[in-house]
Structure 1
Amino acid sequence: MLRRIILGSFFGLLLAWAEASPVYITFPSDVDWQVRKSPHFSVLYPKGQDRLATRTLQAAERAHVILVPIFPDGPDHTWIVLGDWQDATNGYSLDLPFPHIVIYALPPSAHGELASLGDWLDSMVLHEYVHTRHLYPARGLWKAMRFLFGSWALPNAIQPQHFHEGMAVLFETEKAKGGRANSAYFKMFQRMAVVEKKWGTSEFVSRDRMDGVASLWPQGASAYFFGGVFHKDLLRRKGEKGLTELYQSYASNWPGFYNGPLNEVYGKGHAEIWDETFARTRKESEVEIAKIRKEGVARLRYLTDSKFHKWDVRVSPSKRYIAYRSADPDKLSAFEVYDVKKRTVVRRVETPHGGSEGFCWGKNGRGDQWLFVRPVSDGDRSLFSVYRYDLSRDQMDRVWVDGATSVHVHQLDCDSQTDTVLLYQESGGKGKVVEARFSDPLSAKSGRVWEIPEGSWVTSLLFGASHWIALRNGPRTDLYRWDAGVSAPKRVVSADAHVFSLHATANGQILTVADFDGRLEPWRFLPSKKQFQKKLTLLGGINAVASRGDFAVMSSYRHGGFDIAVAKLKEGPVRKVSNEDASPPTRERASISAAENYSAWSTILPRMWVPNFLVVPNGMQIGVWIPAFDIAQKHEYQIVAGYDTRGKPFGEISYNYRFGGNYNLGASANFWPSYIQSTRSFFDVWGGNVALSWSMFSLNWRLGPAYRKVEASGLGPSQKSVGVEASVTKSFGFKYRADGIAPVAGTSISLAHTQYLSLFGSTDSHFRSVFSIRQYWESFWLNNHVFMFQLQAGFAQGTALYNSFFEGGGELLFYLGRVSFLSRGFFPGRFLGREIATFNVEYLFPLFRIERGWGLTPVFLKTVHVGLVGDVLTRATGLRHRNDRYTYSNDELFKKFYFSAGVELKTEWEIFHYLPAQFRVGLYHGFDPTGETLYLNFGLLAGL
């Protein structure tokens, strides 16, 4: 999970957990943390969120009581981090370097699969704690490895994703209210696959694709859906005892040999169990389908046929257009506008969705206007904010409320003029509904505010003379009416169903989506009678509804995803509801400590070390990597040490302290013997630096003192340099497709300068500067055909060549960052100089989308793509220094150019079920007598 592995090259095989940037550090640095504790957990939370922290600990202790009998091997103590810097409901669990759970504690989207959770916080904690205890056991040789190497020896971690997620989905369903395994959402997937005769066939899914692929529905939900079906069947066969025996057996198992434990416990392998499961569940769905058809299934007319994900449907004020959110792996996420008269999509408004919902369409003197919710990324944060889109001007702008950017917004609705808006905001366990009026198109001032009850969440808002609010309270939905001039809304009814997507019809009725009958269908709410009336019976289900005259406009599911459909509303059965309070559950309460200020000492000590084996020209490097960070990610350090069989030890220690608004104070010290490939020279280099990093003016800055010492060698006398390092970087405009081979747009620019001074014993006064700019453009003729242009230049002066130089040429090893000064048709390290510049261009395009494996073998081929590449390099040795002992060719910069070109074939894989990998074969030609006629290079990179 935490490091990059590089395997293989033209020169040999490398298996290394190599030192690199800590990609696992993701928390914001400016959070003021506090801690509360219970007998088995500690919760780390932002100051002021004490109530949420207490609720989380109570949920965790309940989960502990439930799961210990099923997973007897587990950690004595587990950390839980509550994050409010991501507005999309999510979480994860890791047992390394220490057991911890991270929960982005926000209620789920009303239209998605997580809406099936009863008490969303209890269910999320239970789900993630299943992972914690499931991953923990280590038996047999794995137990000895954990004793020797530490916490990274996790045999149960190396399993298909649908094993992990299926187990957690099973227990979130069986041991808590609600849950996905029995949800209307997941049953809809199964039912429609049976209707279209895809259930149990490779057209829907094969065993190698059950973890999910981007191009096939249900994409990222696959591991949860299929895993839930599989584990529900295992539970039916031998109960919880069988699951305990199974995962204890896996704790001594080796990657890829998954049938052994299944045969041991259930007497059958994965394929045979699935065949029986598909047959049994097909019969169950056929019975359900026959029952639904007896009710009289509505005839739907589909307007679109692109499948995948659509939601948030709205009809324009003129009734001519239908707009909705769309997420398709072959396209960037967008709002699509369908013209009813032309019967086609006439506009796509590209914008990130990120699970957000909330969208209204009005019209005023400026023309048609949208208000909608979308995520906004700022450093380590991604928060939902309100935007206004002017259709006539094709202009999108962020909305401000009470003088600040609107954040943590999860639902909205507005009046027909888009002059007043109703917002639902939630963060840190506290939610509120706000009525705000615009003083200008982009600035609103809040009026009435309603603080919603703790533990509940808003599924839908309906703006009107009296506003309506759908509020989930556990598995129930309460409908509130907020009359004009009243400070707080009044509850009208409480329904035993998930109710959302409230929509006012032309005759003043309220159309909504509800799952009273176990399916997501359109219902009409009748406030005066306190009842709901079904308007359409569906075989599948819907996740959004709007009305257009007597017709419902829906995002309707059919096998493969959602499409926009219309159907005439009909009179159906009535479901009466009450306004009675639900009986609160009786729960034991664990003892919770008082709040404490956070201290890093309890989690900062290292808990694992990873061996390093690196094959290099004429030798091997053998070493260890020791990573560590505290639970708040304020402190992070790494130790790398080892021995080079060519006769040199090496080592580095680095430390980073993160604080304030994305500030980072780092220090490092190292001893790295350097090897110049072109001269086969080997010399010793000591180094160290202290640097402050921060963000300002949308730029990333770095500044600090640096020390460097080169020991005397055959290249020249000892050199000592003391100076200052500075750099600035900027990245913007990056866009990605779900199945993209590269960014389809984006620019990155960087400038780094090091100035060494004649102070504190410095041998020379010299400097070193590097500039880089990279640009991605997608072709206008085909999706995912991408051009990459890169210009890099380096300039150094004032010291001996061996003390400060740049190398250019091809590659020894393939790695994601590639060689800085790349000229692929020449031997690695062919060019050496104080001044160097390269221009690289690549045309990248997909060749095949494979997305197949071999059963459960932990190797999965995703895509094959091609790159046509070209490089131009120019360099110069620069001004000669008194300590330069050797004569080097002295080409003039920008006078002599070296050209190369070639083709690269790249294959993208997933190994061990989680680890992205890329294998590349490159064939290049250098257009110069010093170049290679045909230079073959290949390698494998794997990393997160």
Structure 2
Amino acid sequence: MKPICLSVLFFWLLLSLHAQTFSILEQNPSSIRWNQLQTPHFRIIYPRGLDSIAQYTANLLQTNYVSVSHTLGKQPRKLSVVLQNQTTISNGFVTMFPRHSEFFTTPPQDPTLAGTNNWLGLLSVHEFRHVVQYDKMLTGFTKGAYWIFGNNALGVISLTVPNWFWEGDAVSTETALTSGGRGRIPRFDLEFRTRLLTGSEFSYSKATCRSYKDYIPNHYVSGYFLSSYLRRHHEGDAWGKILTRHYKFPLEPFSFSGAIRKETGMKVEQLYHEAAKELAGLWRNQLNQLNETQATLLPTARNKVMTNYEFPQYLDNTTIICRKSGIGDIETYVSLKKSENGKAVEEKLFTPGIVEFTSHASNPSNGMLSVADNKIVWTEHGFDPRWNMRDYAVIKLYDLSSQKIRRITRRTKLFAPSLSPDGKTILAVEYTAQNQSSLQLLDTQTGQIVQTDLSQWLNEGFNASGHPLFQLPRFSSDGNYITSVILQGNGKNIVLFDLKDKTKQSFPFGDENVSHPVKHGEYIYYNSPFTGIDNIYALHAPTGKKYQVTSRKFGAYNATISPDGKEIAFNDFTPDGFRIATMPNDPSSWKPLEELPNRTVSFYRPLLLQEGEKNLLKMTSHDSYTIKPYSKLANLINPYSWGPVVNSTGSDFFVGISSQDILSTTAIQTGIGYDANQQTASYIGNISYQGLYPVLDLNVSSGSRSGTGYIDNQTKGTDVWRETSVSGGVRLPFTLTHSRFRESLILSAYSDYTQVNDYDLRRGPDEQGNGTLYDMRYGLQYSRLHKQALRDVFPKWGQTLTSQYRHTLPGSDFVGDQYTIQGGLFFPGFAKHHGFLLRGNFKYENVNNKPQNYWFASPTLYVRGQDYYYYSTYYAGVYADYRFPIFYPDWAVGRWLYIQRIKGNLFADYGRLSTGDTSLDLTSIGIDISANFNFMRLLPQLELGFRTVYRPNSGDVIVQPLVIDIGF
């Protein structure tokens, strides 16, 4: 492909950013009032009551501004940062639509995400690095494109840089400029490291584009090692130079790889293989002279792909409860029971709801569960029915005796629940909107927080130490103690609470990323990367002496002790995923900590030297910034994109402005549209206000239209007329998810007005030409879809329903009404990952053969491969699909295509149209063949294919192209 071809692709991609109907935006409750403060480089917008957190964030960002920008050679423009405290998700992001960043203030329980860093401190480095990356685009060709198209141009051009760079460079930066970035955490690279150590290096295409055949570590991991490897062997500003080269003309095919080659002498494929080679050597040296402790892996059901069994908990001495998940399985809780012949019998117990609380696919701690008294408790994601930015962490309980699930709490923010041995009390971490972390005790029957002297005592003495974060608390096996990790300014501590004597004992670990402490007897078992490989350790509480319990070569996690105290079960990582392993609980076999060698691979070490060995989170200033109210009304208009946009067929051209305010209450698009087919222009304006419980929409267009037809059905003529349309209405979106089904409902009502003038192409003298159309339309959209594994082509179970009623109003010069309804049912197929979809629809159109009759466009399905007849009173259709994966080739066609999956879909359709005594039956059967692939190894996955249809009505076969997913 020549550069000019990719330039055409660039302009074509811009069409995706030309919105017709605004989607439901991520919204906070309308009752929240907002403040703001300004620094030289940032504006912090935050909910009232969060002043101290906003001041702290402002100082973090202001302190980090120069250092985080340094190696890319770009100091960004002033940025708005929104603090989101209504959500339980631990995340942050930077977007250009409109340009701003958002920090979700709830910190993760997951120790592999933030490590020993303060959560907001990590976000201030990682997310601001993204800001620097995006502003770096304002050079060369890209800068010119920005002035013409606005942020839409930057969004499209960002696709020419692989995702692994965006996230990998940010992880490298957080690792180099803090003491606890993800590059220092062995769990972060566990899957990648294991793959290289077992001789299973994937190709660059597969490692960066992902796969349905094999589990691929995400682009954060591969990106960290690629970006860090380049900096290890070149100057610290090498990536800045590469980006400068690339953005001079980024639409040249493989410009990014070419820029790497010009700067380093290596193509990107060579960069990947050299990095993998160096890492494999370092990690093999890490395992030299490693004495691996022996453990027994429990047998499981046969799994063809990588599958994880995690978070073991003993139900009794022979039965272990754990979570099962993988690329072929959604999260389920299973029991592994040892039989008399020593083998384990796997039994599925139940499927939980949504259990993840970060935006990352791998989030180990959120699946944590607790088992006691024949009960299982865990935390699930709870949804607000209207406001997407307000959600909850609710505790659920599964009773093994009754085999029923019960929701223990509602509208709470409670994490990492632990059952007391008698099953009567639940211990959990509560995190409030004011960023206060505390331990809470709940009654298992009522779900109510127990306000006692004990619960108050648990939290005494910690809140004064600067917003401590409690992580992963546990009752001891005898119920007399509680253990918890506490992350504070001085790093991590494991705290032991003696519930009988009311004493607390704190064991400091500093920057050692310890997690999952559990007490049995005199020992506290915990996870630690002390030697450079995650393993299980034990702390002797009376003396403070520490020991290594396991020495597994990839990683061991999450110890649990059998009720008789004789056995330890834990997560052991293997090339096939996490397995449950067991070994004797024998303190005499443990190694004292002081005898252990340091096997840490500090791949990031050269980056520290390039950055001057700074820990930015220890250098934060303490300035006080003026706080002012933030007015949503005054900031309603916020243009972020402008200029021309072309649609996918090239027939429509739009010049205008797109606006969306920072808090996502109002989306606006206005401009002039030109239809190349009709050679006419019109004004277009769309606005959606979403700051209230109902979403308010208004769409306006006014301009010329043209057409050619037969006047009075005899004389061919061409006419130009004027048409003005106004549409306004409300939508009520509801999120109803509360189980393993994702459930939503949207109700809508719109009023439409269309005025036609100067129309002279009437087919007959009595046909209505000029005039006014007034109509109303009412809609309902409902879906309830089962969670899907990566390999699933359909939800295993699901139901959908869409209905619309539309009719003209009194005073309209045109008359008509239409009712449509369509439903769908999903069922499992004959093999795993296969699926059935059965759909049916019905349309009624009130036809009275009057000249002023108006035919509304039908929103429902139609028989595939057949011509569309819209002049009918009734239409009823039935459609059957059977979709299935054919195979997972993972084929790379040079550097241009990477094909991940080939899918098939068998279908059969039947429809009947009828008007009066006349009817027409339409049928078709056929097959769709499509491929999921990546173009030019860019991460957005595309799906194209072809459809072969046999039409019994005419006896012919037609072949049609299919565009199923173009990545946006």
Identify the TM-score tier after normalising by the shorter chain: 0.7 to 0.9
- State the 1:696 CA deviation: 6.9
Distance in 2, Cα, partners of 1:106 & 1:627: 32
Q: 1:655 aligns with which of 687, 690, 694?
A: 687
Tell whether 2:853 aligns with 1:784: no
Q: Is the 8 A contact 1:312 1:359 kept in 2?
A: no
Match of 1:557 in 2: 573
Q: Is the 8 A contact 2:392 2:411 kept in 1?
A: no
Match of 1:234 in 2: 230
Q: SS state of the match for residue 499, structure 2?
A: coil
- State the 1:498 CA deviation: 1.8
Match of 1:470 in 2: 485
1:551-606: per-residue Cα shift (whole Å, max 9, x none)?
A: 221111123532211223443333489xxxx9993432345231422335457332
Tell whether 2:403 aligns with 1:383: no
Match of 1:64 in 2: 65
Match of 1:793 in 2: 842
Match of 2:221 in 1: 225
Q: SS state of the match for residue 529, structure 1?
A: coil
Distance in 1, Cα, partners of 2:797 & 2:824: 11
Describe the shift of the 1:497–1:377 C-alpha distance in structure 2 as closer, same or farther (beyond 3 A): same
Distance in 1, Cα, partners of 2:519 & 2:500: 21
- State the 1:906 CA deviation: 1.7
- State the 1:806 CA deviation: 5.2
- State the 1:429 CA deviation: 5.6
Describe the shift of the 1:195–1:733 C-alpha distance in structure 2 as closer, same or farther (beyond 3 A): closer
Match of 1:928 in 2: 953
Q: SS state of the match for residue 274, structure 1?
A: helix
Partner amino acid, structure 1, of 2:221 = F
Distance in 2, Cα, partners of 1:615 & 1:327: 40
Q: Is the 8 A contact 1:45 1:83 kept in 2?
A: yes
Q: 2:820 aligns with which of 744, 764, 770?
A: 770
Q: SS state of the match for residue 775, structure 1?
A: strand
Q: Is the 8 A contact 1:300 1:567 kept in 2?
A: yes
- State the 1:277 CA deviation: 2.5
Q: SS state of the match for residue 278, structure 1?
A: helix
- State the 1:656 CA deviation: 0.9
Distance in 2, Cα, partners of 1:603 & 1:917: 35
Distance in 2, Cα, partners of 1:487 & 1:109: 26
Describe the shift of the 1:172–1:475 C-alpha distance in structure 2 as closer, same or farther (beyond 3 A): farther
Structure 2 unaligned residues grouped into runs of 5+? 1-6, 357-362, 596-614, 737-744
- State the 1:289 CA deviation: 0.8
- State the 1:50 CA deviation: 2.4
The 5-angstrom pairing of residues 531-542 of structure 1 reads 531-542=545-556
Partner amino acid, structure 2, of 1:635 = T
Tell whether 2:419 aligns with 1:414: yes
Distance in 1, Cα, partners of 2:771 & 2:931: 45
Distance in 1, Cα, partners of 2:431 & 2:306: 28
Partner amino acid, structure 1, of 2:793 = I
The 5-angstrom pairing of residues 250-399 of structure 1 reads 250-252=246-248, 253-254=250-251, 255-291=253-289, 293=290, 295-304=291-300, 306=303, 308=306, 310=308, 313-341=311-339, 342-351=343-352, 352-354=354-356, 355=363, 356-363=366-373, 368-379=374-385, 380=388, 381-399=390-408
Describe the shift of the 1:688–1:15 C-alpha distance in structure 2 as closer, same or farther (beyond 3 A): same
Distance in 1, Cα, partners of 2:951 & 2:380: 48
Distance in 1, Cα, partners of 2:735 & 2:488: 43
Match of 1:639 in 2: 670
Distance in 1, Cα, partners of 2:309 & 2:51: 35
Describe the shift of the 1:532–1:99 C-alpha distance in structure 2 as closer, same or farther (beyond 3 A): same
Tell whether 2:762 aligns with 1:747: no
Partner amino acid, structure 2, of 1:413 = S
Q: Is the 8 A contact 1:535 1:572 kept in 2?
A: yes
Distance in 1, Cα, partners of 2:578 & 2:646: 49
Tell whether 2:143 aligns with 1:143: yes
- State the 1:38 CA deviation: 1.8
Greater Cα shift, 673-682 or 276-285? 673-682
Distance in 1, Cα, partners of 2:448 & 2:246: 57
Match of 1:83 in 2: 84
Q: Is the 8 A contact 1:685 1:710 kept in 2?
A: yes
- State the 1:891 CA deviation: 5.5
Distance in 2, Cα, partners of 1:526 & 1:152: 59
Distance in 1, Cα, partners of 2:852 & 2:832: 46
Match of 2:911 in 1: 873
Distance in 2, Cα, partners of 1:100 & 1:708: 38
1:154-190: per-residue Cα shift (whole Å, max 9, x none)?
A: 3454211111111111111001121122322245445
Describe the shift of the 1:597–1:936 C-alpha distance in structure 2 as closer, same or farther (beyond 3 A): closer
Match of 2:55 in 1: 54
The 5-angstrom pairing of residues 884-903 of structure 1 reads 892=918, 896-903=920-927
Distance in 1, Cα, partners of 2:634 & 2:511: 48
Tell whether 2:918 aligns with 1:918: no
Describe the shift of the 1:614–1:706 C-alpha distance in structure 2 as closer, same or farther (beyond 3 A): closer
Q: SS state of the match for residue 277, structure 1?
A: helix
1:325-363: per-residue Cα shift (whole Å, max 9, x none)?
A: 222111121112111225131124212322424421111
Structure 1 unaligned residues grouped into runs of 5+? 1-6, 809-818, 878-889
Tell whether 2:639 aligns with 1:606: yes
Distance in 1, Cα, partners of 2:806 & 2:616: 68
Partner amino acid, structure 2, of 1:104 = F
Match of 1:909 in 2: 933
Partner amino acid, structure 1, of 2:106 = L
Describe the shift of the 1:308–1:801 C-alpha distance in structure 2 as closer, same or farther (beyond 3 A): farther
Greater Cα shift, 763-772 or 370-379? 763-772
Match of 1:706 in 2: 752
Tell whether 2:74 aligns with 1:73: yes
For the aligned residue pairs, the C-alpha RMSD in angstroms reads 3.5
Tell whether 2:571 aligns with 1:573: no
Q: Is the 8 A contact 1:806 1:834 kept in 2?
A: no
Q: Is the 8 A contact 2:818 2:856 kept in 1?
A: no
Distance in 2, Cα, partners of 1:738 & 1:114: 22
Distance in 1, Cα, partners of 2:893 & 2:82: 38
Using the aligned pairs only, state the percent identity. 15
Match of 1:168 in 2: 170
Distance in 2, Cα, partners of 1:173 & 1:801: 73
Describe the shift of the 1:536–1:669 C-alpha distance in structure 2 as closer, same or farther (beyond 3 A): same
Distance in 2, Cα, partners of 1:543 & 1:214: 27
- State the 1:635 CA deviation: 0.5
Greater Cα shift, 325-334 or 672-681? 672-681
Partner amino acid, structure 2, of 1:714 = R
Q: Is the 8 A contact 1:611 1:625 kept in 2?
A: yes
- State the 1:897 CA deviation: 2.6
Q: Is the 8 A contact 2:37 2:626 kept in 1?
A: yes
Q: Is the 8 A contact 1:806 1:836 kept in 2?
A: no
Q: Is the 8 A contact 1:362 1:417 kept in 2?
A: yes
Tell whether 2:866 aligns with 1:826: yes
- State the 1:795 CA deviation: 2.4
- State the 1:846 CA deviation: 0.8
TM-score by length of 1: 0.85
Match of 2:878 in 1: 839
Describe the shift of the 1:864–1:731 C-alpha distance in structure 2 as closer, same or farther (beyond 3 A): same
Q: SS state of the match for residue 36, structure 2?
A: strand
Distance in 2, Cα, partners of 1:35 & 1:825: 57
Q: SS state of the match for residue 81, structure 1?
A: strand
Q: Is the 8 A contact 1:44 1:632 kept in 2?
A: no
Match of 1:19 in 2: 19
Partner amino acid, structure 2, of 1:772 = Q
- State the 1:439 CA deviation: 6.7
Distance in 2, Cα, partners of 1:928 & 1:179: 65
Describe the shift of the 1:856–1:115 C-alpha distance in structure 2 as closer, same or farther (beyond 3 A): farther
Distance in 1, Cα, partners of 2:14 & 2:102: 30
- State the 1:767 CA deviation: 2.8
Partner amino acid, structure 2, of 1:730 = Y
- State the 1:657 CA deviation: 0.8
Describe the shift of the 1:802–1:132 C-alpha distance in structure 2 as closer, same or farther (beyond 3 A): farther
Q: SS state of the match for residue 273, structure 1?
A: helix
1:531-567: per-residue Cα shift (whole Å, max 9, x none)?
A: 3221121211123221223322111112353221122
Q: SS state of the match for residue 846, structure 1?
A: strand
1:859-879: per-residue Cα shift (whole Å, max 9, x none)?
A: 4323211111122222234xx
Q: Is the 8 A contact 1:785 1:844 kept in 2?
A: yes
Describe the shift of the 1:928–1:614 C-alpha distance in structure 2 as closer, same or farther (beyond 3 A): same
- State the 1:843 CA deviation: 1.0
Distance in 2, Cα, partners of 1:765 & 1:822: 24
Q: Is the 8 A contact 2:522 2:542 kept in 1?
A: no
Match of 1:725 in 2: 777
Distance in 2, Cα, partners of 1:742 & 1:609: 38
